[in-house]
Amino acid sequence: MLMKKNQIAVPANENGFASLVIAIVLVLVLSLITVGFAELMRREERSALDKQLSSQAYYAAESGVNAATKAINDGFTGGKSNCAPDSTVPDLANNTVKFTDGRNPTGATYPCLLINPAPPNLHYDPITTVLSRTAQFTAIDSTDAPAAVTSIKISWQDSGSNKNFVSNCNSFKTTSNWPHIGMVRMQLIPITSGSLDRASLTNSAFNAFLCPNSGTLASVGNYGTSISAANNGIILNGNCRVAASPNCSVTITGLPPNQATFFLNLRSLYSSTAVTVSAYNGATPLRIKGAQTLVDSTGKAQDVLRRIQVRVASNNGYAIPDGVHADICKQFDLDPALSTSAAPAGSGCETTSLTY
């Protein structure tokens, strides 16, 4: 009887299968790297495009501001509370950005342009030591009617990042010896006759120096007592706080009854400041008309939007010389090195003729 031979299993050669797996893994890795680079390039391209569109949208928003400014300079004194173009005002009749030849290759527009002729406050940034800011304004209530002002709050801070306050406000120093935030020189005059006249400048002008004091002294000035010869040119403490925004503030009270219109002159001493002016009737804040117009413009380039807000000087045609000339007699605690003349005998003060 014949016997079957034992069959011996020969293992298959797996070298080819391993090579296939390695090749598949390499293809997947290379594919992921390619996809990653493609996505990175797409993002970089989109980022560059967004920057370009953002610039276009910003300049489109500026075009809206320019259109509003031109309308104001041309005599437009009304408001615009909706985004749509105003066909009754030529400067505001469309919202398309165009080059001088009439083209608009980017398709940029400013789809929303708002104009508020009576903002909640006045804001000046900066007020420098070279030129003052002047304004004639009328306070109005929620019905747009002139409203009596019982107090005016003037707040300020350094235009930069200086938060170094003064421990006392009894001396004026040279600019190089004043490392603190700026002092604000203020002139406030009620206007009762519709315009500023010589009698108002002589008899009703309230002049004060607002000092960035860090103490706890009351930051209040009374108009009724400060227009007298003895107190005109008074130093008022700002009672400044680092955590406050703005850092310093002074409230002017004791204003003439039923007074809604004022002339205001502001100038910085020592360094530039940012100043905000607010008006109140009791505890009720009032809006301020006639000095600044708040323009809110939104620019659009494809799907990118940019929004800016700008304060534009209202066209009230009010040109006032920078300060008045007067003889002021005040008691100042001067640095010895800065004193150039002795006080007149028996006067108790130094008499100085200055323009302020």
Note the pLDDT tens digit of each residue in 91-129.
Answer: 999 888 766 555 666 678 999 999 999 999 999 999 999
* pLDDT for res 347: 43
Structural element, H or E, at residue 30: helix 15-73
What's the N-to-C CA distance of the chain in angstroms?
137
pLDDT of residue 249: 94
* C-alpha to C-alpha distances, 303 to 111, 114, 277, 298, 299, nearest whole angstrom: 12, 21, 38, 12, 10
Contact 355, 327 (CB under 8 A): no
Reported confidence tier of residue 5, pLDDT bands at 50, 70, 90: low
β-pairing verdict for 248-253 and 220-222: parallel
pLDDT at position 332 is: 41
Rounded Cα distance between 216 and 242, Å, is 13
| Model confidence band, residue 167 (pLDDT cutoffs 50, 70, 90) | confident
Output the pLDDT for position 12: 58
Alpha-carbon distance 255 to 328, whole Å?
Answer: 23
Of 224, 109, 213, nearest in space to 171 by CA:
213
Split at pLDDT 50, 70, 90, the class of 196 is: confident
Q: Would residue 51 be called left, alpha or beta, if left means φ above 0 and alpha means ψ between -120 and 50 degrees?
A: alpha
Report the mean per-residue pLDDT for the chain: 81
Cα dihedral 216, 217, 221, 224, rounded to 10, equals 140
Which is higher by pLDDT, 278 or 21?
A: 278
pLDDT at 331: 42
Query: What's the average model confidence in pLDDT over 292-308?
Result: 93
CA distance 203 to 212: 28
CB count within 10 Å of CB 240 equals 24
**pLDDT value at position 340?**
43
**pTM, entire model:** 0.76
Share of the chain above pLDDT 70, in %: 80
Q: Residue 265's CB: how many other CB atoms inside 10 A?
A: 21
CA distance 50 to 262: 47
**Helix (H) / strand (E) containing 249:** strand 248-253
Left (φ > 0), alpha (ψ -120 to 50) or beta: where does 24 sit? alpha
Say if residue 26's pLDDT is above 70.
Answer: yes
pLDDT at res. 35: 83
Comparing 215 with 51, the larger pLDDT belongs to 51
Q: Is the pLDDT of residue 178 over 70?
A: yes
DSSP annotation string for 50-94: HHHHHHHHHHHHHHHHHHHHHHHHTT--S-B-SSS--TTSGGGS-
How many CA atoms are closer than 13 Å to the CA of 286, on its beta-carbon side? 25
Say how far apart CA 251 and CA 254 lie, in whole Å.
Answer: 10
Decide: 154 and 268 in contact? Cβ < 8 Å: no
pLDDT(344) > 50: no
